[in-house]
């Protein structure tokens, strides 16, 4: 009797929790789509670091692992260690990760490891060198440059030096690297990377993220938002590598002053009290804004549908040309345009070329006349034609097929 050949195995290293939207909404979706497209030709082994914020009970973990196994996906959750003595804890995390992946590699005869984002890419780089695995870094961004330019880390700090060195090594010595922007690819070429380079902006599931008239009406009714208000959505964090609450509040006040029909809808993990206080101190009236702290990730497209434009509040520092905000793909897929500063990823270029966004030189610039004129045109445009144009841009520039095609190309080369 012939013995069936075991499917090729692919190792995935992620420094996020499985349920963290950055992993669950991105890399996990690429894996799912690739499995479907390949007719489940591979076995994926996914190793994650589980943080308390996304913790599942042992029963929930077991149930999820059983569901994943049916699709030849095998999840290996590991504990996350943060807080004080972070470098020591990261080393301890890495040791545990190394032995976990070593065991899987020996058992599965795996040939390739994929590191998702910069931290996991660093882990995967070291492991690939020791275990002689092909390495792909998926969505490389130079986070050390972000931390330095925002003043969060100094250029002489140990954390900066370690991360900067590991980012350089993974980006230049991997076999394959995907970067989200033209500028990222140019940076890697400048570094003389030996990897095969692919430009792939962070992709979203444009089937999940789509406009819903029913959700728009339901959510507006639930929160008493009149249909004649033009709703600007601020979705995500404040501070760190974003503007702080006061800076965003001052900008939003200028928007409402420009057109009193504008309404600011904020959904952020930042405590609602702090955001509301900043809005009130900036001079916004209580009828001009709404702040929510948390909503289920599964419902986010409904909340986007309730809005008319998305805000992306990233300061226009030089290093921000290397990143791709996920929320821009989400906004466009749900049929709404976006607002951002010039120099953020390639999205300022897309905004103007595809006519799907308003580009400010800076959210605290003195002269808002040109971008406000563009904003007015969007506010007056027929919503249906605008939705179609935004959806088309989402599928072209941020559709999940872009990431799946590159993932498949790399894997086909490793497992011909």
Looking at the domain assignment, is residue 385 inside a domain? yes
CATH of the domain at 246: 3.40.50.2000
Residue 230 in domain: yes
pLDDT at 83: 65
- Quick check: pTM over 0.75? yes
User: pLDDT tens digit string along 348-365?
Assistant: 999 999 999 999 999 989
Residue at 1 is within a domain: no
Average pLDDT score over residue span 85-96 = 76
For residue 168, the model assigns a pLDDT of: 97
Range of the domain at 72: 9-203+400-414
| Residue 239 and residue 269 in one domain | yes
- The pLDDT of residue 226: 94
Same domain, 375 and 407: no
Question: Does one domain contain both 194 and 236?
Answer: no
pLDDT tens per residue, range 54-66: 989 999 999 999 9
The pLDDT of residue 75 is above 90: yes
Count CA within 13 A, CB hemisphere, residue 280: 9
Are 47 and 76 contacting, i.e. CB atoms less than 8 angstroms apart? yes
Paired residues of 173 in beta bridges:
none
334 within a domain of the structure (yes/no): yes
Tell me, yes or no, whether 161 and 17 share the same domain.
Answer: yes
pLDDT the model gives residue 153: 95
**Are 189 and 235 members of one domain?**
no
pLDDT score of 80 more than 90: no
265 CB neighbour count, 10 Å cutoff: 25
Residue 208 lies in a domain: no
Helix (H) or strand (E) holding 224: none
3-state secondary structure string across 36-87: HHCCCCCEEEEEEEECHHHCCCHHHHHHHHHHHHCCCEEEEEEECCCCCCHH
**pLDDT of 3 strictly over 60:** no
In this structure, are 404 and 386 located in the same domain?
no
Mean pLDDT of the chain: 94
Query: Is residue 234 one of the residues assigned to a domain?
Result: yes
Indicate whether 86 pLDDT > 80: no
Query: 404 and 299 in one domain?
Result: no
Indicate whether 185 and 326 sit together in one domain.
no
307 and 257 within one domain: yes
Share of the chain above pLDDT 70, in %: 98
- Is residue 349 a part of any domain in this protein? yes
The answer to the question of residue 190 being in a domain is yes
Q: What is the pLDDT of residues 108-163, one digit of tens each?
A: 999 999 999 988 999 999 999 999 999 999 999 999 999 999 999 999 999 899 99
Q: What is the pLDDT of residues 276-322, one digit of tens each?
A: 999 999 999 999 999 999 898 889 999 999 999 999 999 999 999 99
pLDDT score at 2: 41
Indicate whether 199 and 50 sit together in one domain.
yes
Task: Report the DSSP beta bridge partners of residue 341.
Answer: 360
Task: State residue 85's pLDDT score.
Answer: 64
What tens digit of pLDDT does each residue of 232-261 get?
Answer: 999 999 999 999 999 999 999 999 999 999
Same domain, 99 and 171: yes
Q: What tens digit of pLDDT does each residue of 185-217 get? A: 999 999 999 999 999 999 999 999 999 999 999
* Percentage, residues of the chain above pLDDT 90: 88
CB 304 within 8 A of CB 235: yes
- pLDDT recorded at residue 296: 86
Q: Is residue 321 domain-shared with residue 281, that is, in the same domain?
A: yes
Strand order in the sheet with 9-14: 73-79, 43-50, 9-14, 112-116, 134-138, 176-179, 196-199
Specify the 3-state DSSP secondary structure of 114. Answer: strand
* Total domains, the chain: 2
């Amino acid at each position: 009797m012939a013995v069936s050949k075991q499917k090729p195995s692919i190792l995935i290293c992620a420094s996020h929790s499985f349920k963290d939207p950055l992993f669950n909404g991105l890399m996990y979706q690429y894996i799912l789509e690739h499995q479907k497209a390949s007719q489940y030709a591979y076995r994926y082994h996914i190793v994650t670091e589980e943080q308390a914020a996304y913790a599942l009970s042992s029963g929930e973990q077991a149930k999820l692992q059983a569901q994943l196994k049916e699709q030849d996906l095998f999840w290996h959750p590991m504990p996350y260690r943060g807080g004080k003595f972070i470098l020591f804890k990261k080393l301890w995390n890495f040791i545990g990760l190394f032995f976990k992946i070593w065991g899987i590699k020996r058992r599965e005869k795996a040939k390739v490891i994929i590191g998702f984002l910069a931290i996991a890419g660093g882990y995967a780089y070291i492991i690939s060198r020791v275990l002689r695995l092909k390495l792909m870094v998926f969505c490389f961004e130079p986070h050390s440059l972000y931390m330095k330019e925002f003043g969060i880390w100094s250029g002489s700090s140990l954390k900066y030096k370690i991360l900067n060195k590991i980012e350089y090594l993974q980006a230049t010595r991997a076999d394959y690297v995907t970067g989200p922007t033209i500028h990222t690819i140019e940076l890697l070429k400048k570094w003389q990377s030996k990897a095969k380079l692919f430009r792939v902006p962070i992709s979203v599931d444009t089937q999940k993220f789509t406009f819903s008239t029913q959700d728009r009406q339901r959510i507006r009714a639930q929160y008493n938002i009149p249909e004649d208000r033009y709703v600007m959505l601020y979705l995500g964090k404040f501070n760190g590598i974003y503007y702080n609450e006061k800076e965003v509040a001052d900008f939003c006040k200028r928007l409402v002053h420009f057109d009193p029909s504008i309404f600011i809808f904020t959904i952020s993990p930042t405590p609602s009290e702090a955001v509301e206080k900043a809005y009130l101190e900036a001079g916004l009236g209580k009828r001009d804004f709404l702040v929510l702290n948390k909503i289920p990730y599964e419902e986010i497209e409904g909340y986007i549908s309730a809005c008319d434009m998305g805000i992306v509040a990233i300061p226009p520092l030089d290093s921000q040309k290397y990143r791709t905000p996920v929320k821009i793909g989400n906004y466009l897929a749900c049929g709404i345009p976006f607002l951002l500063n010039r120099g953020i990823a390639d999205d300022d270029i897309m905004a103007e070329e595809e006519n799907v966004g308003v580009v400010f030189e800076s959210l605290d610039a003195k002269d808002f006349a040109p971008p406000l004129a563009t904003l007015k045109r969007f506010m007056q445009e027929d919503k249906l034609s605008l939705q179609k144009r935004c959806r088309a841009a989402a599928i072209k520039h941020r559709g999940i097929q872009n990431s799946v095609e590159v993932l498949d190309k790399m894997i086909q080369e490793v497992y011909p």
